[in-house]
Structure 1
Amino acid sequence: MGFAYNSIEVMAIIFIGVLGTGAFLGVTLFFIDRFQTQDAIRRNYPVIGRFRNIFTELGEFFRQYFFAMDREEMPFNRAQRNWVYNASEAKGNTVAFGSTRNLNIPGTPIFMNAPFPPLDDQYATTEPMLIGPTCRQPYLAPSFFNISGMSYGAISKPAIKALSRGAKAAGVWLNTGEGGLSPYHLEGDCDIVFQIGTAKFGVRDAEGNLSDDKLREVAAIPQVRMFEIKLSQGAKPGKGGILPAAKIDKEVSIIRGIPMGKDAISPNRHREVNDFDGLLDLISHVREVTGKPVGIKTCMGSADPWFEFFRKIRERGEDSAPDFISVDGGEGGTGAAPMPLIDLVGLPLREALIRMVDLRDLAGLHDRIRIVASGKLVAPGDVAWAICLGADFIATARGFMFSLGCIQALKCNRNTCPSGITTHIPSLQKGLVVHEKEKRVAAYARSVIGEVETIAHSVGVAEPRQMRRRHVRIVCDDGTSVQMNDLYPSVLLGAEGLARARGNKQFEDGLKRLGVV
């Protein structure tokens, strides 16, 4: 004889079961918290104290979606992210009613529209620029806007694939980051900049030293157009790359030449480079072995040491110079870095870029060394500002991460990225569909390039790189603005001659330190 229960009785049994289970868990957690010794709050307030950590974790979520205004968040606010999202979907980025940007904040750039700009059929368009004119295989770079270094391992396989394919479609280069060259970088047949980090991943021998044979192997790949020797990066100057053990699978281990099961920490500098003479020797060696343009990437702490660098180039001759210098701002991002270095070390790009540009120009190397600017430049206004300062190229990583669908969850170092970009967990990578994301990558690049060309057209020049400091004003502390060339007079020795600097004590002092006079 069986028992029959009506629906109310079944619900009651379920409720009692859930209540009993909850009570059991509560009592268990009470005793665990009361007798553990690691957390004072949980020990004094068992169970309830756990909500503090839960709410701390949820704080990021609620600030991002409910409480923070459009332009309040860090490191990127909602307005910046939404612009990239819309650009990545090839949506129009026109807005109605008026700007939400506060134009009274010190440092804000305001571009100066020309009274008689070129007609629409004279629209400003980008021209390719040559890098490494003295190399056996110089590179004619088609785009001023490109993808900055993101290593395979730091970001996922589908992310690299989408970036490679999108870069090819948009005609921009893709920097490998220091993690070596994977098959996924090559999949899209885009132009590649191979980054040589301090650990020499991808071009190292068994002892971790630079291998000429492996350099030649990489250089023989047609898609590899340039080599970038990484000295430091903005997020962690003075510290080498950090790849947590959780993100090192078998494939990453093979590509990098490192063991699984422990963090991969690169040296904080190239062991064989002790001074600028050693750096110039390394640049010349890599260029001789590969036959391709070779540059450096650095985050500046001060301009003072770099006077010596450019003086050494003048002593050795222009052929000894790097073909490009990537200037990374101290506000640059990364997958994993100590907070003191992220927050407190390295000049921000707004200071570092102008110093490097002026040093190059003071040394008379304006047409020899190309400057690449990197550091939170994700929107057209940021890119145009950097060009006005003197950058020849701009590279961004996080802008393209947003184009892949990054939601700024701030979990890059945990292998739990919810958008599949910085994780090697297959179930999370499934959300990143390559054939869809590659379209977003290309659309974002095209949107930035197109809108920078729009700004260039508005200020009255025929090509974006013709923009100068006189074309932009900078908001000062009192809310008024001043032309950037009044704040930072441009040297442009290579283009306008040495006489441009004569009679100015600051320039004269700089020329003496560089050995020009």
Structure 2
Amino acid sequence: MGQVIIAAVLGLLGALVVFDVVQRKHAILRNFPLIGHLRYILESVGPELRQYIVTSNDEERPFSRDRRSWVYASSKLRNNYFGFGTDNELELSSNYLILKQATFPWPDPVVGGPGYDPNYLLPGGKVLGGPRGRARAFRPESAINVSAMSFGSLSANAVEAINRGCADAGCLHNTGEGGISDHHRHGAGLIWQLGTGYFGARDAQGRFDMARFMDNCASADVRAIEIKLSQGAKPGRGGVLPGKKVTPEIAAIRGIPEGRDCISPSSHSAFSDADSMLDFVERLAEATGLPVGIKSAVGESSFWQELAGLMESGERGVDYIQIDGGEGGTGAAPLAFSDHVSLPFKIGMARVYRIFAERGVDERVTFIGSGKLGFPVEALLGFALGCDMVSVARESMLAIGCIQAQRCHTGHCPTGVATQNRWLARGLDPRHKSERLANYIRTLRKELLWLARAAGHPHPALVTADQFEILDGRLGAETAEDLFEYRARWGRPGAADRAFLRGIATAKS
């Protein structure tokens, strides 16, 4: 009898292993059959364990359990509400955001009625490339887009899932500096990022190659070009993709030798200062007709002062500026850099925007924010500080299955997101996870709209810095406008864009 029971148990366990391996919804179970169920069991009792034994819902970093739970629930279209009131100590919290709601909010369209949009499409606050008259200028369909993460740092399945999800949600997908791969060609419009290695657009010596750049531009749905000056994870440092990750496919895409360490230098060879950078920008824009922008973390202010001054004449200029906060982190980095180099988003964005606003050139530039802005309130503050769009990266990784294991730099990501290990990557089903990314993007846009309407506006870009208060932890608060020394009109789109955004809302209502 005992042998029969043991055989039955082993048979059930074997069947469960087979089921785990062939199912496609859960990467952890596909990669770690049977034992992966322990993760979900522990997750189900996690709140109790943290409350009585380990940590609270707000203590985990870089993203708290509450934040990750919101992303997971949103991506699965599950109930993402929280009950029993906030568990945050509001009066004792410093740097805590409070949105001041309007007494008479902007009305929501009736579900299923005129103007109701189940995709919650939210156009960008400005026409990208419009002020400089680029031949292929456009207003992005979505003000929320996916930030730079390259194929190489992410698996092929992860890149495909993100691209399919972006196409479904109607948003843009930034390639990261690793070049354009076949995994980026599943329907989403691309922002092609050019880093210091010029991968996909370089000659044998690693210098920028215009002919190869144009060939690759024509090979995919590239909507804009981004020149990466630095990123929040490791500003001032280049990157290294270890040789064991440089597969034949990655080597061909990047234009580098197979199996050897891929080095991204710390600085560009095509230009060396703001003046020569603008020459390079105009050269790319003239050749392609595309908007050309820059992405940078914020350190010294002299570069931004010089750039704004050079753009005053209107003869040359970048089409957009993406400010990446020092809290960004999709790239593995030395601890000293990730912890101590470059300003956080709120401070960096405010400083740069103020420089451009004081010179009167802020309306000529589309501002994009990134750095833990993939949550409704943080994203809305970005808009209030002058952003016309927001880009999200790690939150997108969470949406497609990342569990914050923080093993991205090892190549052993258990969910198949940040690895080139074939067994681990196979656990991530691109089509299934693409739906989750699209759900997350739509939910973020929806709740952003809810917050903007609560503040009395039809679009997040119309919310102003004085509508946010920031608690100081000492029973005091200061408006974001006062704290960041903004003037009343700063942070808002120009008159034409304001009219457009209000006109869309009026037509929908």
User: Shared fold (TM-score greater than 0.5)?
Assistant: yes
Measured in 2, the distance between the counterparts of 1:252 and 1:494 equals: 41
C-alpha contact 2:386 2:491 (8 A) present in aligned 1: no
SS in 2 for 1:126: coil
User: What's the CA shift for 1:221?
Assistant: 4.0
Q: Deviations over 1:348-391 (max 9, x none)?
A: 11110111111221221222101111111121111111111111
SS in 2 for 1:153: coil
| Equivalent position amino acid for 2:281 in 1 | I
SS in 2 for 1:109: strand
2:24 corresponds to which residue?
Answer: none
2:340 maps to 1:344: yes
SS in 2 for 1:325: strand
Structure 1 residues 94 and 237: alpha-carbon distance in aligned structure 2, compared to 1, 3 A threshold: same
1:131 corresponds to which residue?
Answer: 128
User: What's the CA shift for 1:244?
Assistant: 2.0
Measured in 1, the distance between the counterparts of 2:143 and 2:134 equals: 20
2:143 maps to 1:144: yes
1:88 to 75, 94, 112: 75
Measured in 2, the distance between the counterparts of 1:152 and 1:488 equals: 37
1:357 to 353, 367, 371: 353
Measured in 1, the distance between the counterparts of 2:301 and 2:184 equals: 34
Measured in 2, the distance between the counterparts of 1:495 and 1:110 equals: 19
Measured in 2, the distance between the counterparts of 1:494 and 1:94 equals: 30
2:475 maps to 1:488: no
2:101 corresponds to which residue?
Answer: 113
SS in 2 for 1:395: strand
| Equivalent position amino acid for 1:168 in 2 | A
Q: Deviations over 1:29-67 (max 9, x none)?
A: xxxxxxxxxxxxxxxxxxxxxxxxxxxxxxxx9999751
| Equivalent position amino acid for 1:488 in 2 | F
1:431-470 equivalences in 2 (<5 Å): 431-470=427-466
Query: Number of residues paired by the alignment?
Result: 436
Gaps of 5+ in 1: 1-6, 8-60, 498-517
Measured in 1, the distance between the counterparts of 2:339 and 2:484 equals: 26
2:276 corresponds to which residue?
Answer: 278
Q: Deviations over 1:8-47 (max 9, x none)?
A: xxxxxxxxxxxxxxxxxxxxxxxxxxxxxxxxxxxxxxxx
Measured in 1, the distance between the counterparts of 2:467 and 2:259 equals: 53
Measured in 1, the distance between the counterparts of 2:490 and 2:57 equals: 42
Structure 1 residues 496 and 246: alpha-carbon distance in aligned structure 2, compared to 1, 3 A threshold: closer
Measured in 2, the distance between the counterparts of 1:477 and 1:102 equals: 9
| Equivalent position amino acid for 2:56 in 1 | M
Structure 1 residues 220 and 261: alpha-carbon distance in aligned structure 2, compared to 1, 3 A threshold: closer
1:32-431 equivalences in 2 (<5 Å): 66=50, 67-104=54-91, 105-121=93-109, 126-128=122-124, 129-133=126-130, 134-187=133-186, 189-221=187-219, 223-314=221-312, 317-431=313-427
Measured in 1, the distance between the counterparts of 2:457 and 2:433 equals: 34
1:502 corresponds to which residue?
Answer: none
Measured in 1, the distance between the counterparts of 2:183 and 2:176 equals: 13
Measured in 2, the distance between the counterparts of 1:414 and 1:239 equals: 19
C-alpha contact 1:231 1:296 (8 A) present in aligned 2: yes
Measured in 1, the distance between the counterparts of 2:485 and 2:100 equals: 17
User: What's the CA shift for 1:206?
Assistant: 1.6
Q: Deviations over 1:225-251 (max 9, x none)?
A: 000000111111111122122321111
Comparing 243-252 with 212-221, which one deviates more in the overlay?
A: 212-221
Q: Deviations over 1:86-120 (max 9, x none)?
A: 01001232221101233232111100110111233
Comparing 321-330 with 297-306, which one deviates more in the overlay?
A: 297-306
User: What's the CA shift for 1:477?
Assistant: 4.2
Q: Aligned-residue CA RMSD in angstroms?
A: 2.3
Measured in 1, the distance between the counterparts of 2:107 and 2:433 equals: 35
Structure 1 residues 222 and 151: alpha-carbon distance in aligned structure 2, compared to 1, 3 A threshold: closer
| Equivalent position amino acid for 1:285 in 2 | R
SS in 1 for 2:379: helix
Q: Deviations over 1:184-207 (max 9, x none)?
A: 1012x1110000000000111122
Q: Deviations over 1:316-346 (max 9, x none)?
A: x224110000101111103321111111111
Gaps of 5+ in 2: 4-42, 110-114, 495-509
Measured in 2, the distance between the counterparts of 1:95 and 1:114 equals: 23
Q: TM-score, normalised by structure 2?
A: 0.82
Measured in 1, the distance between the counterparts of 2:121 and 2:221 equals: 25
Measured in 1, the distance between the counterparts of 2:286 and 2:228 equals: 18
Measured in 2, the distance between the counterparts of 1:394 and 1:372 equals: 5
C-alpha contact 1:125 1:462 (8 A) present in aligned 2: no
User: What's the CA shift for 1:272?
Assistant: 3.1
SS in 1 for 2:79: coil
Q: TM-score, normalised by structure 1?
A: 0.80
User: What's the CA shift for 1:156?
Assistant: 0.3
C-alpha contact 1:70 1:79 (8 A) present in aligned 2: yes
Measured in 1, the distance between the counterparts of 2:243 and 2:407 equals: 15
Structure 1 residues 162 and 351: alpha-carbon distance in aligned structure 2, compared to 1, 3 A threshold: same
Structure 1 residues 204 and 496: alpha-carbon distance in aligned structure 2, compared to 1, 3 A threshold: closer
Measured in 1, the distance between the counterparts of 2:172 and 2:492 equals: 27
Measured in 2, the distance between the counterparts of 1:494 and 1:394 equals: 14
SS in 2 for 1:131: coil
User: What's the CA shift for 1:139?
Assistant: 2.4
| Equivalent position amino acid for 2:96 in 1 | T
C-alpha contact 2:106 2:453 (8 A) present in aligned 1: yes
Structure 1 residues 493 and 363: alpha-carbon distance in aligned structure 2, compared to 1, 3 A threshold: farther
C-alpha contact 1:364 1:494 (8 A) present in aligned 2: no
C-alpha contact 1:125 1:464 (8 A) present in aligned 2: no
Measured in 1, the distance between the counterparts of 2:343 and 2:106 equals: 37
Structure 1 residues 117 and 249: alpha-carbon distance in aligned structure 2, compared to 1, 3 A threshold: same
User: What's the CA shift for 1:496?
Assistant: 10
C-alpha contact 2:176 2:193 (8 A) present in aligned 1: yes
SS in 2 for 1:152: coil
